[in-house]
Structure 1
Amino acid sequence: MENINWKRKFILIYAGQFFSLLSSSAVQFSIIWWLTVTSGSPLVLALAGLAGFLPQAIIGPIAGTIVDRYSRKMFMIVSDMTVAIGSLLLFSTVYFGDPSISLVLFVLVIRSVATAFHMPAMQASVPLLAPEEHLTKVAGWGQMLSSLSNIAGPAIAMTLLAVSSFEWVLLLDFFGAVIASSMLLSVRIPRAPRTEEPTSSGFFVEMKEGYDALVKHPKLLKLTIIMTFVALLYIPLGTYFPLMTRNHFEKGVLEAGIVEIVFAIGLILGGLIVSLLGDRFNKIKTMVVGMLLMGFALFFSGWLSPSLYYAFVALSGLVGLSGPIFSAPFYAFIQTEIEPHLLGRVFSFVTSLSLLATPIGYGLAGVLIEATSVATLFSLIGILIILNAAIALKK
């Protein structure tokens, strides 16, 4: 493994990826806003949500197997440029005519398919470039970039929509992908080493190798199940922060915005903490600390009286901060425990499990809110995440 000048390589890669993530976040926000204004239909917005994550969840294991077969750098570039071409197609349609909702949904599907290839290629490339003792630190850098782009992207989109129009935000995505691909071209990513001589095998045999690598690693399998359950609880929760602000604390849109901003700042600080601490502590114990912080913050949020809005703001920041503390070490643990030539497949299986669990989480959360209240949802999710942390520590 080539570890010489590894930090310089990551600066180049992550600088390019930041532009790509930033422009993609802006476009994603703009597309959802355009669909909201154009259709005003909850069904269309639900279809947009499905188009955004379901293709990635379904083809993830297939994509991971293909990524492990060929150049991971090539797949990152092809994925970025596929997203760019999709945005350019939509730009042309908007600029010269009136795009249909079906075309916009199709572009969202294309973006999701591209992500299915890009994510495992990126994650599987990390241990080929970074020393093993710095994998958690690198995961923290990735969390910071993702959080920053998720904050700045919608802000850039709103600014562009205010001073120009929808199509120019789409063009921004094209340039972001070109910058990311150009940066990647200047970095050499070595081929994944194998501990044994490769044998000729079929595609589905190779896919099964990735599945076996996950299920035959007892500790990793148990952690994956725990993290999937946490994703089922945690991911839908982001939708209900505004509802908590409005229904429980009886505040308006300004206060809901403050909660979102503080939560996002917490995400950035969490990524910064992980990037500074790196692998100084045991990965699983760090994950447990992150889950405990989140669990207790959510539990106490549900017990706050309606007059303690600012306490909820502080706890929201703690929820955001805890996210990278338990997710970054998990990614680093996979990179440490799984052989490099299998990483694309394993990451795809792990990601697909989390994505497929998401709609279940939304359904259960919606039923619970209807039966009780959004405050009860927060407390119950907090308790369940604390229990997951205890199970993770025991395992």
Structure 2
Amino acid sequence: MEMKNWKKRLFAIYTGQFFSLLSSAAVQFSIIWWLTDATGSPLVLALAGVAGFLPQALIGPIAGTIIDRYSRKMMMILADMTVAFGSFILFITMYFQEPSLVLIISVLILRSIATAFHVPSLQASIPLLVPEEHYTKVAGWGQMVSSITNIVGPAIGVSLLAIATIEWVLLLDILGAVIATSILLFIHIPKVTEDKSAAPLSFVTEMKEGYQAVTQHRLLIKLVIVMTIVAVLYIPLGTYFPLMVRNHFERGVIEAGIVEITFAIGLILGGVLVGFVGDRYSKGKTMAAGMALLGGALLISGLLVPSAFFIFIGLSFFMGLSGPLFSAPFYAFIQTEIEPRLLGRAFSFITSLSLLATPLGFGVAGIIAEVTDIAVLFAVTGCLIVVNAIITYKMN
């Protein structure tokens, strides 16, 4: 495979994806805020949340098989344009009348389906563009781009909503998709080399092939299970950070914002750190270190007295910093160990597993927080993640 000028091509792709992800984050936040303001219903927000992740989880294995069959570049373009199309339909409707809840939920479902194709397509394209020794470094760059867009996107959404109505914010999606697609059209992403002598496989057989590529790799399936457990434990805490600030530390919305910003800064710097260090250290050991840092910070947070809020701010930075340390090497390990022709299916299967397990995490976290205390939830979660860090370390 041609790897010359890979940095230039990757920079161009990430530039386009930056605008696409940035506009999507702004629009996604604006839609959720509009639902909050228009309905004030927790049930509607829960429904919107399910519409945002469940379709992606359910169709992931199917999407992965399609990605591996066809051009990954075309899959990314179609996914971007699908998101733009959904936003355009919502823009037209909102311009002339009040949209129905069914239409808004339908657009969120469409966005989730597009994401099921877009993210694995991008991840599966990396080994076709980047030398293997740089996989971890590139994964760190990707984490940094994603982190920045997830932080800046909602801020842009809030700013635009302050000076314009939501339908005009929706046009950002179209702009972002046009920029990303225009750049991709001029980027050559090599196609996976196929064995022409082999008999064509059925769609179901190809799905099974991707599943088996993950499950039959002894170390990879163990890491997938550990990472899924960490996701189940950690993802719900994002919802409870403001509650920790308000209920345990008895602070207000400004302090909650400071915690979120500090966490975000740590997340960005974590991506920078991984991008700089690359593969100088074992992927498994780096993952274990990241988990240990996250678990330790959560455990200490849960043990803090209410007057130690400023220590919690510092710990939030380390929580953010830890994310890329265990996620970027994990993605790089998958790209190293799985054949390029199977990567779309592998990433889709792993993503679907994490997303389907997330509701379980929300349920358990909600019960612990309700029965005990929010600080106890942080401490218990921290302990369990440290255990996972130890297991990950011993695997390697």
Fold match by TM threshold 0.5: yes
C-alpha separation in 2, matches of 1:261 and 1:199:
54
Residues of 1 paired with 2:49 and 2:306: CA distance?
Answer: 31
Task: Give the 5 Å matches for 1:256-271.
Answer: 256-271=256-271
Corresponding residue for residue 182 of structure 1:
182
Report the CA distance between 1:132 and its aligned residue.
0.2
- Aligned partner of 2:49 in structure 1 is 49
Alignment TM-score, normalising by the size of structure 1: 0.99
2:337 is matched with which residue?
A: 337
Q: SS in structure 2 opposite 1:366?
A: helix
Question: Which residue of the partner structure matches residue 90 of structure 1?
Answer: 90
* Equivalent residues of 1:194, 1:340 under 8 A apart: no
Identity percentage of aligned residues: 66
What residue in structure 2 maps to residue 207 of structure 1? 207
Structure 1 residue 44 displacement after superposition:
0.3
Cα-to-partner distance string for 1:28-83 (whole Å, 9 max, x where unaligned):
10000000011111100000000000000000000000100000000000000000
Offset at residue 197 of structure 1 (A): 4.8
SS at match of 2:191: coil
> Could you list the per-position Cα deviations for residues 236-294 of structure 1 after superposition, in whole angstroms to 9, with x for gaps in the alignment?
11000000000000000000000000001110000000001111111010000100000
Q: Distance in 1 between matches of 2:169 and 2:272?
A: 29
Instruction: Give 3-state SS (helix, strand or coil) of 2:193's partner.
Output: coil
Does 1:313 find its partner at 2:313?
Answer: yes
Distance in structure 2 (CA, Å) of the matches to 1:40 and 1:239: 17
Q: List, as ranges, runs of 4+ consecutive aligned residues in structure 1 with deviation greater than 3 Å.
A: 194-198
In structure 1, how many angstroms separate the alpha carbons of the residues matched to 2:351 and 2:20?
A: 20
Offset of residue 199 of structure 1: 2.5
Q: Counterpart in 2 of 1:353?
A: 353
SS in structure 2 opposite 1:388? helix
Q: CA RMSD in A?
A: 0.9
* Aligned residue in 2 for 1:255: 255
Show the counterpart of 1:220.
220
Whole-Å separation in 1 of the counterparts to 2:228 and 2:197: 33
For the 8 Å contact 1:21–1:149, the answer to whether it is kept is yes
Answer whether contact 1:291 1:385 (CA < 8 A) is retained: yes
Aligned to 2:5: 5
Which residue number corresponds to residue 27 of structure 1? 27
Given that 1:286 and 1:326 are in contact with CA atoms closer than 8 Å, whether structure 2 keeps it comes out as yes
- Displacement of 1:195 in angstroms is 7.2
In 1, the alpha carbon distance for the partners of 2:198 and 2:91 equals 44
User: Residue type matched to 1:295 in 2?
Assistant: G
**Superposed CA offset, 1:71-102 (max 9, x none):** 00000000000000000110111111111111
Deviation, 1:198, is 3.8
- Look up the match of 2:276: 276
Q: Which consecutive unaligned segments of at least 5 residues does structure 1 have?
A: none
Distance in 1 (CA, whole Å) between partners of 2:284 and 2:195 is 26
Secondary structure of the 1:99 match is: coil
Residues 41-80 of structure 1 correspond to what in structure 2 (within 5 A)?
41-80=41-80
For 1:185, give the aligned amino acid. L
Within 2, Cα distance between the matches of 1:188 and 1:109?
Answer: 30
Evaluate the alpha carbon distance shift between residue 101 and residue 294 of structure 1 in structure 2; reply closer, same or farther with a 3 A threshold. Answer: same
Partner SS state of residue 281, structure 2: coil
**3-state SS in 2 of match to 1:193:** coil
Residue 4 of structure 1: SS of its match in structure 2?
A: coil
- The whole-number CA distance in structure 1 between the counterparts of 2:304 and 2:331 is 33
| Structure 2 runs not aligned, ≥5 long | none
How many Å separate the matches in 1 of 2:307 and 2:183? 50
Q: CA deviation at 1:2?
A: 1.4
- 2:328 equivalent in structure 1: 328
Within 1, Cα distance between the matches of 2:100 and 2:324?
Answer: 38
Q: Could you tell me how far apart the structure 1 residues matched to 2:289 and 2:111 are?
A: 34
The one-letter amino acid paired with 1:191 is K
Aligned to 1:295: 295
**Within 1, Cα distance between the matches of 2:258 and 2:389?**
29
Match of 2:366 in 1: 366
State yes or no: 1:147 paired with 2:162: no
| Secondary structure of 2:10's aligned partner | helix
Deviation at 1:194, TM superposition (A): 4.7
Whichever residue aligns with residue 94 of structure 1, its letter is: M
